[in-house]
Amino acid sequence: MQLLSIIIVGVVLGVASCDIDCFNKETIKCRPDWGKDARTSILEYCRTHVPFVKCIRDSCAKCKVGFLPEAERWWAAIKDACTDGTALNKNLDSNIDCITSATADADCLTDSDQDLKDVPDDQAMCKEFDSLRDCLYQRIESACSRNVADDFLTIYGAMVDYQLKICDEVILKQK
């Protein structure tokens, strides 16, 4: 789950480069305190991610940005994962050690520095999200099971869809 949190920091940093004044102002308050999150249980994960994703979703709604539907789907996935007793919550909680182990040393970012040396960091990260999602899925599927990977993808896939929409609507248009 630590890698998921690290990638989400990239989401916040990517959003910070947007040219959408309202959204930038609103999301400043969304930045979570990752340092206190031990990422050893679904409870610890949810402690920081529920308010973070809710803040992102609320900022999207307030500022009427084009990626609100993706933020809503991400919020719905987080709520499901973090609601005690749901199937997704139970599955993630019982498999958190396997997920953490499978993603902790995952080398999923491509070695494309040469291809992307003239591309701004945000645009380069936009090109990584699909392959990163697929790589993490495969790592978890191999180490845990397909069902566990599908559960992980419920949250991670929704976050990637949100970020890719920001890439399409904002970051990649800044060329």
Instruction: Tell me the pLDDT tens digit for each residue of 22-73.
Output: 888 888 888 876 555 445 678 888 988 999 999 999 999 999 999 999 999 9
Residue closest to 126 by CA, chosen among 50, 45, 3, 17: 17
What pLDDT, on a 0 to 100 scale, did the predictor assign at position 107? 82
Does the reported pTM lie above 0.85?
no
Please count the helices (runs of H) and the strands (runs of E) in the chain: 9, 0
CA atoms of 20 and 150, how far apart (whole Å): 33
Low-confidence ranges of the chain (pLDDT < 50): 2-3, 6-7, 9-19, 37-38, 112-119
Q: What are the structure tokens assigned to 169, written together?
A: 């609507």
Q: What are the structure tokens assigned to 87, written together?
A: 């199937």
Q: Can you spell out the DSSP letters for 54-90?
A: HHHHHHHHHHT-TTHHHHHHHHHHHHHHHSTTSHHHH
CA atoms of 152 and 148, how far apart (whole Å): 6
Contact 166, 18 (CB under 8 A): yes
The residue behind tokens 């789907």 is 73
CA atoms within 13 A on the CB side of 23: 22
CA atoms of 168 and 137, how far apart (whole Å): 23
Q: What are the structure tokens assigned to 47, written together?
A: 């402690």
What pLDDT, on a 0 to 100 scale, did the predictor assign at position 1? 52
CA atoms of 92 and 8, how far apart (whole Å): 18
